[in-house]
Amino acid sequence: MTSMPAKVDPKLTRENETRRRLDLTIPAAEMETATEEAARQMGRKLRIPGFRRGHVPTKVVRQRFARELQEEVIEQLASRHVAAFMDSGQEDPVAPPVLKEQQVVKDGSLKLVAIYEVQPPVQLGEYRGLAASRPSTTLSDQEVDDALESIRMGMTRLHPVEDRGAAEGDDILVDMEGLDLEGEEKGVTFRREGIGMRLAGDDVHPELWKALLGAQTGFCREVTVAYPDDYRTKGLAGRTIRYQLNVKSVRQPRTPLLDDDLARNAGDFKDLAELRQRVQEDLQHRKEKDAHESVRQSLLHQLLERHPLAVPQVLVDQEVHRRLESIAHQLARQGVDPTQAGVDWPKEKKRQDERVREDLRAARLLDAIAEAEKLEVKDVDMERHLAEEAARANQPLTVLRASWQKDGRLDALHRHLKRDAVLDFLSSVGHIQKEGESA
C-alpha cells in the first residue's frame, strides 16, 4: 500500500451521495525536484546542435522545453499523488478519478482537483413480508382455441392465381412507378419494385385497390391518388401521385382446416387432439411463468420504493453507452444504417438512462440482501444453465464454459442467478395472495 507524502495534505469534499472532490497541493520543492529530474531524463535523449547527444544540460532543457516539461511533471505528480490517496483505502472509486483542474501558483506549488464517484452504502430497511398479488393461472378453452387458430393462420400459404383477375383478399406483387403532380415534390419520379399488397381491410388505398381489382399477372394499370393531409403514412400525406402499376403476380391465400392433417404438418403430432394437448401444456407453463415473474417484479418495485439509493452517474453513462451501441450493432447486422433507422437517439438515450438507473439500483439492493441473508448460487444451478446455453448454441459445454470464463459472462451469470435467488427468497418470505382471493 502506497502512503501519502507527508507534505501533501489532501482535502476531500463530499459533493453529494456519490460524487467526491479531492484537492491536493504539491509543494514547490517537490515540483522543483520532479522538474529537474524530468529535465535530466529528457536531456539524455535530446539531440541539440552544440551539445553531445545525451549531454544536454538541464538548464538548457528547462529553457527550451519549459511547457513540455511542466505538462509531463504535472501528469506524473497528479498520477502519483491521486493514486497514493486512493491506495490509502479511504475511498473506493467506481471508476478512475478524473483530473478537472491543475494550476501552478506563484509560489511554485501545484494545485490539483480530481473528481471521482463512489457507491453509497446500502442501508437495508424492511424487505420481508412484502405483499403481492399473484395473477390467476387458470387457462380457458377459449385461450387454447385462439392459440390453435393462430397456428392455423400461420400455416396460410399463397397460391398463384391464373384463371381469374385479382379479388378481395388476394396478395398482389407489383412494380410501381410514381410521379408527383403537385406540391413541393412536383415533377419528382420514383420507382419501387416487388411491392406486396393485400386487397383486404384498409391495407391499400381505395384508389389503388379499385385499380388492382380484376388485374391479372402482366397487366399494367395507371391511377392517380390524392392523399389527404392527415394520411397515416406521413411520407405520402398531402401528395398527389400518378402511379404506373405493373402486376407481377396475383396469389390467393389459402388457410388449412383445423384437423388432423394440420396437426401432422405442424409438427410431430399424430392428430389434432395431441396438438391441442401440447398447446394447452405450453400455455399453462407460460401462465405459471408469467405469474411467477409478475410477483417478483411487484416485490422488486416495492423494494425500490422503500430504498431510495443514489447511483454513480459514471456507471449509468457507461451502461447506457453499452446498450445504445448494442442497438446500433443489431441494426447494422440487419443491414440498416443506424443513422437512417428512424431512431430518435436522444429520446432513446433518455429512456435508457431511466431504465439503467433503476436496474443498477435494483442490482445493488438485491446484492445487499443476498449478503445479509447469506444466499448463494448452487453449483447445480450454474451447471444447468450452462448446459442449456451450450445446447442452444450447439457447442460442447467445455468450450462454452471456457469462452464465458474468458469474457466475463460466467461471473455475469453467477450474479444473475444470485439476484434471481433473492427474488425467490423475497417471494418465500412475502405475503403472496392469489388474484381473486380475499385477504
How would you write the pLDDT of the chain (439 residues) with one tens digit per residue?
A: 444 444 677 899 999 999 999 999 999 999 889 988 888 888 787 777 777 777 778 888 788 888 888 888 889 998 899 888 888 877 889 999 999 998 888 888 899 999 999 999 999 999 999 999 999 999 999 999 999 999 999 999 999 998 899 999 899 999 999 888 876 677 778 888 988 888 887 778 888 888 889 999 999 989 998 888 888 877 788 888 899 999 999 999 999 999 999 999 998 899 999 999 999 999 999 999 999 999 999 999 999 999 999 999 999 999 999 999 999 999 999 888 888 878 889 999 999 999 999 999 999 999 999 999 999 999 999 999 999 999 999 999 999 999 999 999 999 999 999 999 999 999 999 999 987 655 5
How far apart, in Å, do the first and last CA atoms of the chain sit? Answer: 58
The residue ranges of every structural domain in the chain are: 11-117, 122-156+257-308, 158-254
Tell me the Cα Rg of the chain: 35
> Taken in order 255, 256, 259, 265, is the CA torsion positive or negative?
negative
Q: Burial letters for 304-313: b for 16+ Cβ neighbours within 10 Å, e otherwise?
A: eeebebebbb
Rounded Cα–Cα distance for residues 350 and 85 (Å) = 35
8 Å CB contact between 195 and 176: yes
User: What pLDDT is recorded for position 337?
Assistant: 86
Let me know if the fold of 11-117 is the same as that of 158-254.
no
- Topology of domain 11-117 in CATH is Alpha-Beta Plaits (3.30.70)
The region that residue 41 occupies, defined by phi over 0 for left and psi between -120 and 50 for alpha, beta otherwise, is: alpha
CATH annotation of 158-254: 3.10.50.40
The neighbour count for residue 110, using CB atoms within 10 Å, is 23
Residue 73 contacts residue 61 (beta carbons within 8 Å): no
Tally of CB atoms within 10 A around 432 = 16
